[in-house]
Amino acid sequence: MSTATIIDGRKFSATLRGRIAEEVTRLKNDHDLTPGLAVVLVGEDPASQVYVRSKGKQTLEAGMNSYEHKMPAETTQEELLAKVEELNNDPAVHGILVQLPVPDHIDDHAIINAIDPNKDVDGFHVINSGRLATGARGASAPMIPCTPLGSIMLLKDHLGDLSSKTAVVVGRSNIVGKPMAQLLLQESCTVTIAHSRTKDLPDVVRQADIVVAAVGRPEMVKGDWVKPGATVIDVGINRIEVDGKNKLVGDVATAEAMEHAGAITPVPGGVGPMTIACLLANTLTAASRQNGLEEPNLL
Ligand code: NDP
């Protein structure tokens, strides 16, 4: 019998996008300011094209300006750096995102770290990682990576105060696992980061009041790994084939986990929709900060 509550990321992200659109209207009316997001896509990767289209559409729907820069696969690192510099200097652009992955001949670290940290709406720049790790506030507050930001919003909305809870993050990537662990630590959780070399992973996960799975392995976290009543955030997006049909599954065996968890994010419809909503939130935050305006409270 399933008992877990489903944490509905689609509904939450729709509400968040509505709040963002209201704030954009307010910025336009009160300050004649329209937030602008520039997305740079190098090459023709089909999945990246879908993401970029979707980001552009939702940016416009929120009332912001969307600038798409498509560059050919043979673009050199220097040409891409020149594009980033042009956008850094463009006052109409408040947020810059270079869609990853970039082609192999380009060093993605060099590109990310060339973005003005205050326009780095993906939150991947080393300055933003450092600001997040040190708990910087006010004018030097970090831009927070979108997927972990969306995940912590869902957790706080569902659980309220996270303080003193035990959290296990499975995965230590720079874009999800590490920033997620930092956010949980900031909420005064006791945090363990697990990865491919972790011993006795099921037992480690079983300790957690909060489990965040960001691994990229279909349904790896089994139901009996989950402590009764735990809250499970499944970041994974994996395409698998079932009976000849494509199916999207997470990193958690959802049906099994629902027998144990208190609440769980589904895939699709959990963390996924939060990521673009948080990109828009970051763009709004960036536009407000760059113009010396108070940051909107979106929750
Ligand atoms: P990465 O491949 O960069 O990192 C995966 C992490 O999982 C690594 O730290 C790796 O450990 C760890 N890992 C791999 N195998 C195991 C294992 N058997 N046991 C324990 N840990 C393991 O992935 P990302 O962080 O970029 O993405 C993770 C998942 O989240 C993917 O499914 C991705 O599609 C999804 N994703 C979803 C987003 C969304 O919008 N919802 C956005 C971004 C990602 P090690 O470091 O030791 O190799």
Whole-number Å distance, alpha carbon 73 to ligand 1 midpoint, is 26
Pocket perturbation via mutation, ligand 1, pick of 170, 173, 203 by most ligand atoms within 8 A of CB: 173
> How high does pLDDT run on average in the chain?
97
201 has pLDDT over 80? yes
CA-wise closest residue to 180 among 190, 189, 169, 194: 169
122 is catalytic: yes
Out of 58, 83, 116, 122, which one is annotated catalytic? 122
Whole-number Å distance, alpha carbon 235 to ligand 1 midpoint, is 9
CA-wise closest residue to 180 among 243, 117, 220, 133: 133
Out of 55, 83, 119, 178, which one is annotated catalytic? 55
Per CATH, is 146-272 categorized as 3.40.50.720? Answer: yes
55 is catalytic: yes
- pTM for this predicted structure: 0.97
Per CATH, is 30-122 categorized as 3.40.50.10860? Answer: yes
Whole-number Å distance, alpha carbon 214 to ligand 1 midpoint, is 4
| Number of C-beta neighbours around residue 268 at 10 A | 14
**Which amino acid does the sequence have at 263?**
A
d(CA 174, CA 85): 24
Q: What is the pLDDT of residue 40?
A: 98
pLDDT band at 2 (very low <50, low <70, confident <90, very high): low
The 3-state DSSP class for residue 187 equals coil
287 has pLDDT over 90? yes
Nearest CA to ligand 1 atom 22: 196
99 is catalytic: yes
In which residue ranges of the chain is CATH 3.40.50.10860 found?
30-122
Q: What is the pLDDT of residue 57?
A: 97
pLDDT tens sequence across 251-267: 999 999 999 999 999 99
Whole-number Å distance, alpha carbon 77 to ligand 1 midpoint, is 27
48 has pLDDT over 90? yes
Whole-number Å distance, alpha carbon 80 to ligand 1 midpoint, is 27
Nearest CA to ligand 1 atom 40: 272
Q: What is the pLDDT of residue 297?
A: 86
Residues 6+ apart with CB under 8 A from 253: 219, 220, 221, 222, 223
Q: What is the pLDDT of residue 1?
A: 62
pLDDT tens sequence across 96-134: 999 999 999 999 999 999 999 999 999 999 999 999 999
pLDDT band at 298 (very low <50, low <70, confident <90, very high): confident
Pocket perturbation via mutation, ligand 1, pick of 50, 196, 232, 280 by most ligand atoms within 8 A of CB: 196
299 has pLDDT over 80? no
**Percent of the chain topping pLDDT 90:** 97
203 has pLDDT over 70? yes
142 has pLDDT over 70? yes
The 3-state DSSP class for residue 160 equals coil
| Beta pairing partners, 245 | 242
pLDDT tens sequence across 221-232: 999 999 999 999
The 3-state DSSP class for residue 120 equals strand
CA-wise closest residue to 16 among 198, 178, 149: 149
Q: Is 55 in the pocket of ligand 1 (CB under 6 A)?
A: no
In which residue ranges of the chain is CATH 3.40.50.720 found?
146-272
Q: What is the pLDDT of residue 267?
A: 98
